[in-house]
Amino acid sequence: QKEVEQNSGPLSVPEGAIASLNCTYSDRGSQSFFWYRQYSGKSPELIMFIYSNGDKEDGRFTAQLNKASQYVSLLIRDSQPSDSATYLCAVNPGGNNRLAFGKGNQVVVIP
Amino acid sequence: DAGVIQSPRHEVTEMGQEVTLRCKPISGHDYLFWYRQTMMRGLELLIYFNNNVPIDDSGMPEDRFSAKMPNASFSTLKIQPSEPRDSAVYFCASSPIGRETQYFGPGTRLLVL
């Protein structure tokens, strides 16, 4: 079983709509969770992190964590063409600074 | 403040040649990570260091790969001999102690012919 799984294929959303991404993780002891955005040909950049169960909002982005079900979600409200990118979910399994990354979900915002 | 610096940005080489990738982490960061990214396998952790000491190299694919961190401001990833299947983007990232957030360099695009 992979440490972090992002199974959805490319997601196409119209401009202004909500994009919803999901990620599951295998290590129940994981304590911290991250979403990175990666534009084509660029390096990953952090957009959100969350440690506690529930929701965390930052501008148009909301991260949701459910430790009991071992999943993390990212919502992008009022999607813009500039949000078109691959979104990587990352989990810290605990004990050090290592992160386990999912393979990513591509988001395409259609004007 | 400068971010993570990697060189070269692009490398094209022939099979069998030695390849050396370089990384300068963000000043003051105690952790340094080397990743490889391909379409098929995504972002894979190869090795990481804490205070210049290798902590986990279980992701290094085989003995052809080696990494060093002689001081807090410099690390190298070496592939010898290189093979076409090593073609990928190699990222270096660093993070400060006490925070898991990793900051990535621009990457090195390696093509082995």
Contact of B107 with chain A, judged by CB distance below 8 Å, is answered with: yes
Instruction: Yes or no: say if A78 and A14 are a contact pair by the CB < 8 Å rule.
Output: no
pLDDT single digits (tens) B45-71: 999 999 999 999 999 988 999 999 999
Residue B42 to residue A34, Cβ atoms within 8 A: no
Between chain A and chain B, the number of residue pairs with CB atoms below 8 A apart is 47
From CA A54, how far away is CA A64, in angstroms rounded? 6
What pLDDT, on a 0 to 100 scale, did the predictor assign at position B2?
Answer: 83
Select from A32, A45, A88 the Cβ nearest to the Cβ of B100.
A32
Q: What is the mean pLDDT of chain A?
A: 92
pLDDT in tens, chain B (113 residues): 689 999 999 999 999 999 999 999 999 999 999 999 999 889 999 999 999 999 999 999 889 999 999 999 999 999 999 999 999 999 999 999 878 889 999 999 999 99
Structure tokens at A71: 């999943």
From CA B63, how far away is CA B61, in angstroms rounded? 7
pLDDT single digits (tens) A21-72: 999 999 988 889 999 999 999 999 999 999 888 899 999 999 999 999 999 9
Q: How far is A17 from chain B (nearest CA, A)?
A: 27
Find residues 60-99 of chain A whose CB sits inside 8 Å of chain B: 88, 92, 96-99
